[in-house]
Amino acid sequence: MSSVVLEIQGLTKQVGKNKKIVHDASFQMKKGEILGLLGPNGAGKTTTIRMIVGLIKKTEGKVFINGSDLDREGQSCISDVGAIVENPSFYDHMSGYKNLQQYARLSKEKVSKERLDEVVALVQLSHAIKDKVKKYSLGMKQRLGVAQAILHKPALLILDEPTNGLDPKGIRELRDYLRELANDGISTLVSSHLLSEMQLMCDRVVIMEQGKIIDVSDMSSLNENGSSDQLVVMMNVKKEHMELSEEVIESLEGITIIKRENDHQLVLDMTHDLIPQLNRHLVKADVDVYGIESKKTSLEDKFLALTSEDRQLMKEGK
């Protein structure tokens, strides 16, 4: 079995003659890795997942699961995948256990009673597995969804927005389950727009914006506080100097304006060594600077900087 569990190459989905929902997406996933697929609503995350699992046809590109081409070996590829796309569906009038038995009957490989009990214990539903699903909370249904997705011991688990509707306790429990699965060698692709949660959950993240992959980041490059060597700088100037400040900053290499916080504050993305240069250029331009405050960059800060920059390039037609 290949150490690369999932590879997509140039995945593209086009609607009509000109509109591309996903454009030339490529990335790899390794065995036992949790990979986050991040982006705002409408970025193309769910469309990408639907193409990976074969729910919709792709316009261009290739999908490889454990080294096998999905186009050529579709059924054998999909048998290595467990997925929850959007909300998991169950027979509400049946117990959680009977639902799992029903999914087990549909599996290509025989699922033993021991495996059923093992999965129920893993997702911590032993206390309620004989209850009817209609009595389950949303978090319990999500856990039951994970249970049915891993019954057949897939190499790859794909979860689209699995934390939707979960309370903080449920989100933390799901995160712990996925880490246990990763320790058992199961790779998980998680789609979400919750940046802080993905930072805690994932080994790497792929950031999408308007159908394009604009960054792939390794979480090991962030320290235990979720920060990198890049800084977020808060700069305070007079209200009447804001436009001039922006002009000065845009003329400097290595500094990106993330956003205008209010009438007198700019939030910047830059490294620590550029702060003196920034200050010198502002003073030279007769900008009154009342303060420059910096902090380490989080995944959320990086995401905002990348997507803001990407939107600006698109506006300029680059």
CATH number at residue 65: 3.40.50.300
Q: Are residues 102 and 245 in the same domain?
A: no
CATH of the domain at 282: 3.30.70.250
Q: Which residue has the higher pLDDT, 121 or 193?
A: 121
Q: Are residues 90 and 177 in the same domain?
A: yes
Q: Is the model's pLDDT at 298 over the cut of 70?
A: no
For residue 286, give its domain range.
Answer: 228-297
Q: Is the model's pLDDT at 291 over the cut of 90?
A: no
User: pTM for the whole thing?
Assistant: 0.69
Helix (H) or strand (E) holding 204: strand 204-209
Assigned domain for 40 exists: yes
Going by the DSSP 8-state scheme, the letter that residue 167 receives in this structure is -
Assigned domain for 303 exists: no
CA distance 142 to 112: 22
Q: Are residues 125 and 235 in the same domain?
A: no
Q: Which residue has the higher pLDDT, 283 or 199?
A: 283
Q: What's the mean pLDDT in 93-110?
A: 88
Output the DSSP codes for 1-23.
--SEEEEEEEEEEEETTTEEEEE
Assigned domain for 317 exists: no
Torsion angle of the four alpha carbons 148, 154, 160, 163, in this order, in degrees rounded to the nearest 10? 60
Q: What is the pLDDT of residue 161?
A: 82
What is the percent of the chain where pLDDT is above 70?
Answer: 87
Q: What's the mean pLDDT in 100-110?
A: 84
Assigned domain for 302 exists: no
Do residues 133 and 99 lie in contact, with contact meaning Cβ atoms separated by under 8 Å?
Answer: yes
Q: Are residues 167 and 233 in the same domain?
A: no
Q: How many domains, in total, are found in the chain?
A: 2
Condensed to tens digits (0 to 9), the pLDDT of residues 124-145 reads: 889 999 999 999 988 788 888 8
Assigned domain for 176 exists: yes
Burial class (CB in 10 A: 0-12, 13-18, 19+), 7: middle
Q: Are residues 75 and 49 in the same domain?
A: yes
